[in-house]
Amino acid sequence: MKNKYNRYVMLTSACLITALIISSAYLSGCSGVSDTIKNAERLKFKLGSVEGFDLAGVKIKNMNSIKDLNIMDGAKLLSGFTSGNMKSKFTVNLIAKNPDTQGGSKESSSLIKSLDWRLLIDNKEVLDGEVNNITVPGVGKSVTIPIPVTVDLMKIVGDAGYESIINLALALGGKSGSSSRLTLKIKPTIDTFLGGISMPGEIDVIDKEFR
Q: Considering the chain, what percentage of its residues have pLDDT values greater than 70?
A: 78
pLDDT given at position 7: 52
Is 197 domain-assigned? yes
Predicted confidence (pLDDT) at residue 203 exceeds the cutoff of 50: yes
Strand partners, 195: 192
Whether 195 shows a pLDDT value over 60: the answer reads yes
Average pLDDT over residues 85-97: 96
Domain count, the chain: 1
101 contacts: CB under 8 Å, gap ≥ 6: 42, 139
Is pTM, for the whole model, over 0.85? no
Residue 87 has pLDDT above 80, yes or no: yes
210 inside domain: no
Tell whether the model's pLDDT for residue 176 goes beyond 60: yes
Give the pairing of strands 44-55 and 58-59. Answer: antiparallel
Q: What is the pLDDT of residue 197?
A: 85
Supply the range of the domain harboring residue 114: 2-205
Q: For the segment 129-166, what is each residue's pLDDT rounded down to a tens digit?
A: 999 999 988 778 899 999 999 999 998 988 889 999 99
Residue 120 lies inside a defined structural domain of this protein: yes
Residue 16 burial class via C-beta count within 10 angstroms: exposed 0-12, middle 13-18, buried 19 and up: exposed
211 in a domain, yes or no?
A: no
What are the tens digits of pLDDT across the range 33-50? 666 667 777 889 999 999
Residue 148 lies in a domain: yes
